């Protein structure tokens, strides 16, 4: 696709979603190059099910950039279960002030994220490993201003995977679909056990070309360190969510 056509589509979707402030020329160029690199790699590795720009721009780019509004300036950020680079890569494009680490258990996805970030000139660190194991490492535990995650697990499982990484006073931003509120109610108890508390439940619409989809952002503030016994093994987290 030609750059000028991509740019027009990009601006239309970002405008519709109130994200025009993030759509400067150099960012749009990077999103254009990211699309190329992603679709190229997607032929040999499963990065995304979305293969056309009318889907990729709203459902990957606008959906992830939306979270930039809730991340403080110069924050350290961990994206847990970043997969093929979402939200880590879009956030790194629009927020060069952030120091973002992407974590995923699939090593080849992490290699792709790291090399793509380098090609785009983005400051990203990509680490392969299981979230519940890396969370025991003092380098990561209680150390991020902000942890973000999209499409990894239901919140009652996700909170145990993510909240150990958040520093006291920091936040977890869980990007959720239409079930976001119900997921929060189900996870409330576990969030409290992790040292967290709901700060806000933000309801908004993600605007596509014609239709729109319901989204929730569940923002959890961490008030006290996560007790040592968490996170448990993934088997136990899944079998007996708190």
Residues 153-182 that bind ligand SAH (CB under 6 A): 161
Does position 234 interact with ligand SAH (CB under 6 A)? The reply is yes
CB of 48 to ligand SAH, least distance (A): 7
Residue at shortest CB range from ligand SAH: 83
Interface residue with ligand SAH, options 27, 82, 93, 220 (CB under 6 A): 82
Residues 131-150 that bind ligand SAH (CB under 6 A): 131-132, 150
3-state helix, strand, coil in the chain (%, to 5): 45, 25, 30
Which of 104, 100, 121, 148 is closest to 29 using CA atoms?
121
* Residue 121, token pair as written in the block: 């000139």
Tell me the window of 15-23, 93-101, 124-132, 193-201 that interacts with ligand SAH (CB under 6 A): 124-132
Element holding 202 (H helix, E strand): strand 196-207
CB of 161 to ligand SAH, least distance (A): 6
Give 34 or 169: the residue with its C-beta nearer to ligand SAH. 34
Exposed, middle or buried by CB within 10 Å (0-12, 13-18, 19+), for 114?
A: middle
Does position 106 interact with ligand SAH (CB under 6 A)? The reply is yes
Q: Which residues, 6+ apart, have CB-to-CB distance to 116 below 8 Å?
A: 34, 37, 38, 41, 85, 89
Give 151 or 168: the residue with its C-beta nearer to ligand SAH. 151
Give 11 or 234: the residue with its C-beta nearer to ligand SAH. 234
Does position 27 interact with ligand SAH (CB under 6 A)? The reply is no
CB of 75 to ligand SAH, least distance (A): 18
Q: What's the length of the chain?
A: 242
Element holding 169 (H helix, E strand): strand 166-176
Tell me the window of 99-107, 162-170, 187-195, 198-206 that interacts with ligand SAH (CB under 6 A): 99-107
Interface residue with ligand SAH, options 10, 14, 86, 216 (CB under 6 A): 86
CA 31 to CA 8: how far, in whole Å?
13
Which of 145, 130, 43 is closest to 97 using CA atoms?
145
Does position 109 interact with ligand SAH (CB under 6 A)? The reply is yes
- The answer to whether the beta carbons of residues 220 and 159 sit under 8 Å apart is yes
Binding residues (CB under 6 A) for ligand SAH: these are 81-83, 86, 103-106, 109, 130-132, 150-152, 161, 234
């Amino acid at each position: 696709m030609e750059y000028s056509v991509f740019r027009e589509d990009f601006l239309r979707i970002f405008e519709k979603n109130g994200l025009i402030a993030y759509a400067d020329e150099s960012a749009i160029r990077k999103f254009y190059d990211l699309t190329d690199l992603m679709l190229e790699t997607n032929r040999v590795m499963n990065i995304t099910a979305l293969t056309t720009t009318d889907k990729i721009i709203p459902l990957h780019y606008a959906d992830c950039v939306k979270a930039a509004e809730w991340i403080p300036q110069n924050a350290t950020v961990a994206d847990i279960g970043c997969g093929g680079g979402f939200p880590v890569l879009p956030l790194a494009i629009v927020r060069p002030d952030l120091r973002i680490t992407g974590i995923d258990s699939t090593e080849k996805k992490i290699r792709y994220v790291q090399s793509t970030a380098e090609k785009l000139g983005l400051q990203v660190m990509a680490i392969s490993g299981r979230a519940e194991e890396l969370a025991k490492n003092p380098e990561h535990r209680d150390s991020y201003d902000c942890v973000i995650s999209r499409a990894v697990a239901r919140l009652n499982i996700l909170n145990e995977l993510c909240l150990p990484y958040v520093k006291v006073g920091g936040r977890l931003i869980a990007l959720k679909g239409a079930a976001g509120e119900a997921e929060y109610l189900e996870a409330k108890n576990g969030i409290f056990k992790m040292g967290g508390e709901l700060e806000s439940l933000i309801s908004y619409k993600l605007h596509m070309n014609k239709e729109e989809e319901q989204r929730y952002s569940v923002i959890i503030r961490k008030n006290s360190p996560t007790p040592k016994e968490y996170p448990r093994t993934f088997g136990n987290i899944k079998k007996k969510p708190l």
